[in-house]
Amino acid sequence: MTMPRVATFILVLYAALFLFADFFAVTPSDAMDPALPYLPPETLRFTSLTGQFHLRPSLARRQPITGLFAAYSSQQPALIPLQFFVITESPGDPASRHLRFCSIPGGVPHFLGTDEFGRDVWSRLVYGGRLTLLISLSAAFAATLVALAVGFLAGYAGPLADSALMRLVEACIAVPWFYLLLAIRALLPLRTSPLLAAAVCAFVMAAVGWARPARILRGAAHSARQSSYVSLARATGASPWHIARWHLLPALAPLALTQFSILVPQFVAAEVALSFFGLGISDPLVSWGVMLAAAQHLSAIVQYPWLMSPIWTMIPLFFAIHILADRSASASPLTLSFLPRHWYKLPRQKVQGESPVRL
Amino acid sequence: MKALFVFDLPSRRIAVPLLCAAFALSTSVHSASSQALRVVSLHGNPGGSLHASLRSEPRTLNPVLAADIASRTVTAALNADLLHINRATDQVEPALASSFQVSRNGESYTLRLRQDVHFSDGSPFTADDVVFSFNVYLDPRFNAPQRDLLLIDGQPIRVTRIGPYSVRFDLPHPYAAAARLFDGLAILPRHLLEPQLHSRTLADLWTLATPPAQIAGLGPYRLKSYTPGQSLILERNPYYWKQDAAGHSLPYIDQIDFSFVSNQDAESLRFAAGQLDLLARLTADSWASLKALSTAQPIRELDGGPGLEFDLLLFNLNAAVAARPPQAALTQQWFQMQPFRQALSLAVHRDAIVHLVYQDRAVALATPVTPASRLWANPALHPAMPDIPQALHLLSGAGFALRGNALYDRQGNRVHFTILASSSNRAQSGIASLLAHDFAALGIDAQVVPLEFRSFLQRITQSHDFDTAVMALSAGDTDPNGNMSLWLSNGNLHLWNQGEAQPATAWEAEIDRLMNQQLSVTNLQQRRALYDRVQSIYADELPFLSLVSPHMLAAARASLAGPTPTPLDPGMLDNLATFYWQR
């Protein structure tokens, strides 16, 4: 399997996980279990206590030691057989009724352990990933689009538009975002619906994030404009629209894709900072940023490393995004090269086919 | 940053609108067991050095101007006071004064000073130094933060030299717990400072740039060197006036190295690596990881029990808030109802906060008077246990109705509000999440809103644009006087309804009356009865919910004897002179 295929596979896997979050998560993201704080990840066993093999895996549940905080007995864990495809519901919360891929009788399996309030890390990871990706992908998409438009116009439309747009970019970079974020928070009502919170989060990220890529794209557009093939096209009477569409945009697209793939992880990290201002996601909603912010202390690293699981989940995801962005950028611009060949047409062929006619 | 207010800074400062009632009071004499300097019954080992840390560099070495924690920690080791509160018993004991006498009317304190005591530069200590020090504290030109502390009803305490080793302090009115005022007030060397004060301002004296030879105090240590950005080193004061039971001069430890470590995790790592001998402030969750990290040398956890700090849920009871949207008026209307506040209190699992947020190193509270004020907590009041049926009963009595999983008020509005928490404070954010979870059991939709600390503070103290907020407060003293600004309706920490010209309610007026009355009563039993009444009124009205009080935690090398966390400044380093290394 080639790298792009691996990357595609990873993306599809994550997409499935997040699209069917209610199925893959084992409990609502905010369901607390005060009896099981900081429970280490629970292991699966295929053998009974007497050593017999069972096809149905069992969950090895360690019992809390009474009188101690977050201490779990290491001897003789109770083996609880897993049930698959169960409809579960948290007590007193009809909204949490969902078909779950797996459950245990009268409880919740904690495959990735629990956090300080006994909330299931796996379920938070799944629900949090959904929100995080929704926010950071849409914010990165919006930021790249704006950056592409501004960079393109600045690089192509002439010196007046260039200097006007670049002053705008510089102004945007120079804005003291700390105070602006405080002001935005002060303008918003304290009580925000989850949808509004996510939208504000994405908007703020895009508003902060577009300026630097715009500068880079403007540089690329500028140099492409002065390149010999554009001069040639212009000399042959190509319309500005034609040059923009078939010469400049293909030159900028790989760069824009790379900028996009750089922005996504940046925005996941930025979400932690936004939560600090009260602009991000907060309880009962969860995101990877919220999970990471809660794990930013020594004891999480030393004692409860499973709280770091968003990091391990992010690495393959960002790897896949980078690989695919890189691949599409280098193979042929503005295409989805990881899809089967007959699913798309290569615009480059079109360009090659068209140019000789005009000559 | 911790969302923590100190009721009054520096500690034990008292905001005093005094009642002028004059009570006939009995004369009392407090004195040390003997005139001898042998004041400590202890046998330690002299020698060695101690590596401690400060979160920031001290701003000054001048005890009069020291306001930040680092400066206060260092100046506390360099200086001594006339009377000192024994942190273990919470009683005032003679220190540089060998005895003190209170006049019959409670307005005059006569202090007899120890003789043969020397400053750390070898010059003798007399009544002139005491009079000079208090003149510095009281002189409005110098703007000393302690000046407010020594003003009673706007009038300063008068200091008179009676003899070379005897001073009298005259109060304008009888004042309960006046002896506690002396704690922490450093006595300055007149011979070093007075000549310079003619030509220079106080702020220019004893800065970090001052050569160590020009600084002298009566404390167990004196300054040896200061390296900006790195460390501040104190050496043993050879003239220190305390001795142990065997007649050895204190302090035991020869040298204290303070290094500047700004971050708690960095501090913990350096402690675990053996570069620090002492961690002055520890959070409950870091202890276990510290233990896991320090494999080289044994360490021990120092648990001083609950301190003066406590976490609370503040209700916004401010009368008129112009900036708030119409929905907020509705929310505030609910908070104005006493049964609503009581019902919320009955929904809170304080034991869950103790267990999950503080890992069992905290106590549940009934009132803001924490167990650290051991003389003053009303023994008849107990923390509310969660009781959802009773809470729902109270709510239905006030016109609320539970339909399905949602609570509605009399007008049919869904009950929901926000809980503000400082986003940089893990404990308080955690408490807010737990509270939202608890209130859901009453059908209330409470939403946690984490805010950056300054905006958080601005909303609570300035714009009053909030519903409820989780925060921490800390009393300035174990004595009720350390809580004046919280209780009095015009106090600056009367946070639930700030800036009342007149008490807004009858019960607030009653609390004002009782608190002002206890100020001038010097009989302990009478004061306790008054303060018990204040706490009962609070427990009935619940203008805010006192949740839990975290333990004072610290860590030290297992072989270091002496450190004990205490609620009053300078905390664990209060008895620094008696620290020693076990062999």
Q: What average pLDDT does this structure show over B178-203?
A: 87
Q: Is A91 on the interface with B (CB under 8 A)?
A: no
In a domain, B137, yes or no: yes
**Based on the domain organization, do B349 and B273 belong to the same domain?**
no
**Based on the domain organization, do B400 and B543 belong to the same domain?**
yes
**Based on the domain organization, do B322 and B233 belong to the same domain?**
no
Spatial distance between the Cα atoms of A61 and A113, rounded to a whole number of angstroms = 11
Contact between residue B64 and residue B202 where contact means Cβ atoms under 8 Å apart: yes
- Of residues A330 and B407, more confidence is placed in B407
Q: Give the structural domain span for A149.
A: 124-335
The three-state secondary structure class of A76 is coil
Question: Is pLDDT of A338 > 70?
Answer: no
Question: Is pLDDT of A331 > 60?
Answer: no
In a domain, A53, yes or no: yes
Q: Is A196 on the interface with B (CB under 8 A)?
A: no
Count of Cβ atoms closer than 10 Å to residue A354 Cβ: 12
**Based on the domain organization, do B238 and B323 belong to the same domain?**
no
**Based on the domain organization, do B161 and B281 belong to the same domain?**
yes
Q: What residues contact residue B205 under an 8 Å CB cut-off, 6+ apart?
A: B62, B193, B196, B197
**Based on the domain organization, do B264 and B328 belong to the same domain?**
no
A281 Cα to chain B: minimum distance (Å):
9
Name the DSSP letter for residue B435. H
Would the CB atoms of A303 and B265 count as touching at under 8 Å?
no
**Based on the domain organization, do B357 and B279 belong to the same domain?**
no
CATH number at residue A314: 1.10.3720.10
Q: What is the pLDDT of residues B403-432, one digit of tens each?
A: 988 999 999 999 999 999 998 888 999 999
In a domain, B562, yes or no: yes
Chain A, nearest residue to B451 by Cα: A278
**Based on the domain organization, do B283 and B333 belong to the same domain?**
no
Q: Is A285 on the interface with B (CB under 8 A)?
A: no
Secondary structure string (H, E, C) spanning B42-76: CCCCCCCEEEEEECCCCCCCCCCCCCCHHHHHHHH
**Based on the domain organization, do A142 and A99 belong to the same domain?**
no
Q: How many CA atoms within 13 Å lie on the side-chain side of B81?
A: 23
**Based on the domain organization, do A63 and A190 belong to the same domain?**
no
**Based on the domain organization, do A258 and A295 belong to the same domain?**
yes
Highest mean pLDDT among A97-106, B12-21, B207-216: B207-216
Spatial distance between the Cα atoms of A209 and A203, rounded to a whole number of angstroms = 10
**Based on the domain organization, do A50 and A155 belong to the same domain?**
no
**Based on the domain organization, do A144 and A102 belong to the same domain?**
no
**Based on the domain organization, do A159 and A197 belong to the same domain?**
yes
**Based on the domain organization, do B547 and B562 belong to the same domain?**
no
Q: What residues contact residue B129 under an 8 Å CB cut-off, 6+ apart?
A: B187, B188, B189, B190
Is the bond preceding residue A105 a cis peptide, omega within 30 degrees?
A: no
Q: What is the pLDDT of residues A81-100, one digit of tens each?
A: 888 998 888 776 777 788 88
Q: What is the pLDDT of residues B476-533, one digit of tens each?
A: 888 998 888 899 988 888 999 887 788 889 999 999 999 989 988 888 899 999 999 9
Q: Please report residues of B whose CB lies closer than 8 A to that of A116.
A: 285, 356-357, 430
Q: What is the pLDDT of residues B431-454, one digit of tens each?
A: 999 999 999 999 999 999 888 888
**Based on the domain organization, do A128 and A267 belong to the same domain?**
yes
**Phi, psi dihedral angles at A112 (to 5 degrees):** -115, 25
In a domain, B508, yes or no: yes
Q: Is B388 on the interface with A (CB under 8 A)?
A: no
**Based on the domain organization, do B329 and B226 belong to the same domain?**
no
Q: Is A33 on the interface with B (CB under 8 A)?
A: no
Region of residue A51 (left: phi > 0; alpha: psi -120 to 50; beta: else): left
In a domain, A32, yes or no: no
Question: Is pLDDT of A318 > 80?
Answer: yes
In a domain, B304, yes or no: no
In a domain, A62, yes or no: yes
Q: Is A354 on the interface with B (CB under 8 A)?
A: no
Q: Which of A83-92, A96-105, A124-133, A260-269 has the lowest mean pLDDT?
A: A83-92
In a domain, A118, yes or no: no
Counted domains in chain B: 2
**Based on the domain organization, do A228 and A294 belong to the same domain?**
yes
Is the bond preceding residue B211 a cis peptide, omega within 30 degrees?
A: no
Would the CB atoms of A117 and B433 count as touching at under 8 Å?
yes
Name the DSSP letter for residue A283. T
Would the CB atoms of A190 and B465 count as touching at under 8 Å?
yes
**Based on the domain organization, do A80 and A182 belong to the same domain?**
no
Name the DSSP letter for residue B363. E
In a domain, B303, yes or no: no
CATH number at residue B372: 3.10.105.10
CATH number at residue B277: 3.40.190.10
Q: What is the pLDDT of residues B333-384, one digit of tens each?
A: 899 999 999 999 999 999 999 999 998 999 999 999 999 998 899 999 999 9
In a domain, B87, yes or no: yes
Spatial distance between the Cα atoms of B463 and B457, rounded to a whole number of angstroms = 9
CA end-to-end span of chain B: 38
**Based on the domain organization, do A225 and A317 belong to the same domain?**
yes
In a domain, A27, yes or no: no
Contact between residue B470 and residue B435 where contact means Cβ atoms under 8 Å apart: yes
Question: What pLDDT is attached to residue B22?
Answer: 28
Q: What is the pLDDT of residues A29-74, one digit of tens each?
A: 888 888 899 999 998 888 887 788 888 888 888 888 887 888 888 8
In a domain, A189, yes or no: yes
In a domain, B263, yes or no: yes
Q: Give the structural domain span for B333.
A: 309-551
Q: Please report residues of A whose CB lies closer than 8 A to that of B349.
A: 34
Q: How confident is the model at residue B579 (pLDDT cuts 50, 70, 90)?
A: very high
- Would the CA dihedral through B402, B403, B406, B412 be positive or negative? negative
Question: What pLDDT is attached to residue A344?
Answer: 44
- Would the CA dihedral through A32, A36, A41, A43 be positive or negative? negative
The CA-based dihedral angle spanning residues B28, B32, B36, B37, taken in that order and rounded to the nearest 10 degrees: -130
In a domain, B257, yes or no: yes
Its ipTM equals: 0.82
Counted domains in chain A: 2
**Based on the domain organization, do A98 and A193 belong to the same domain?**
no
Q: How confident is the model at residue B239 (pLDDT cuts 50, 70, 90)?
A: very high
**Based on the domain organization, do A202 and A297 belong to the same domain?**
yes
Spatial distance between the Cα atoms of B499 and B488, rounded to a whole number of angstroms = 10
Q: What average pLDDT does this structure show over B322-333?
A: 76
Alpha helices in chain A (DSSP H): 3-19, 21-24, 121-156, 159-174, 177-187, 194-209, 211-225, 228-235, 240-243, 249-276, 288-294, 298-302, 309-331, 347-358
In a domain, A18, yes or no: no
For the entire predicted model, the pTM comes to 0.85
